[in-house]
Amino acid sequence: MFPNLTDQNKRSIFASGLILFAANLLPMIAVWKLNWSFYDLLVLYWTEIILIGVINLFRMILVVPPDSTLGFHLLKLAFVPFFAGHFGLVCVGIGIALQIVFGKEHFEVETQIAAMLWGKSRLVFWPLVISHLFSFFWNYIGQQEFRRTTVMRRMFAPYLRVAAQTLFIIGGALVCRYLNSPMQMLLALVGGKTLVDLITHVLLHFRFMSREVGRPIITVLD
C-alpha cells in the first residue's frame, strides 16, 4: 500500500507513535488516581485540538517540495492565515458546542485551561505537548515530510484527525454523563481516544512518508 516506505521511515513512525501512546495513557492515571471527571477530559482533549492546529501552522510554513517555485511560496502566504482563521473558528465552535451540551457551569474553559498549563493538570497536558512536538521534529523535519507534501494536503490533514477525535470524545462523554461517569466508562473513553489517535497518526505519517525524497536528516537505530 505504501511501497516507498523504508525501514527507517517505519521505525520513525513507531517511535513517535510509542511516545504518543505513552502520553495518552496519563489521562487514565488522572481518572484513576486524581478522580478526573469527563469534563476534565473534555477540556484536555479540546486544548489538544488547539495544539494540533498551532503545530500544523508551522508544518504549512515549512512545506518546501523539491519542485517549489516563487508562486508556491506566494500561495503559502495566502493559505497559512486562511487555515489559522478557519481552524480557529472550528476550535471556538467546538468549545461553544461543549458548553451548550454540557453546561457552562461544568465546562469553565478559562479556569480549566489555566489548570492545564500551570495548575494540577499540567503533568497530564504537557506530555501531550511533548509527544506532538517530538512527532513534528522527528518525523516532519527529521524524515523530511516537509519535502513530501503540499500546502493543500497539509492544510486539510488535521481535520481528519480532529473530526475522528471530536466525534468519538463527544459521543463517549455523552454516554459517561448519562451513566453518571463511572470510572470504567471514563477509562474506556481514554482508551478509545488513544486508539483513534494512534490510527490517524500512523495513517497520516505513512501517507506523507510514502513519497521518496533524499536521505533523512535524522536516523533511528541506523
pLDDT at position 134 is 94
Measure CA 137 to chain center: 14
* pTM of this structure: 0.85
From 108, 142, 134, 148, select the one nearest 2 (Cα to Cα).
Answer: 148
Question: What distance in Å separates the CA atoms of residue 173 and residue 180, rounded to the nearest whole number?
Answer: 10
pLDDT at position 163 is 84
First to last CA, the chain: 24
pLDDT at position 188 is 84
pLDDT at position 181 is 64
Which residues, given as ranges, of the chain have pLDDT below 50? 1, 214-222
- Tens of pLDDT, residue by residue over 93-145, are 888 877 777 766 555 666 667 767 777 778 888 999 999 999 999 999 988 88
pLDDT at position 51 is 92
Question: What distance in Å separates the CA atoms of residue 12 and residue 36, rounded to the nearest whole number?
Answer: 33
Residues, the chain: 222
**Cell numbers 488522572 correspond to what residue?**
30
Cell numbers for 152: 493543500
Question: What distance in Å separates the CA atoms of residue 98 and residue 34, rounded to the nearest whole number?
Answer: 22
Question: What distance in Å separates the CA atoms of residue 50 and residue 108, rounded to the nearest whole number?
Answer: 16
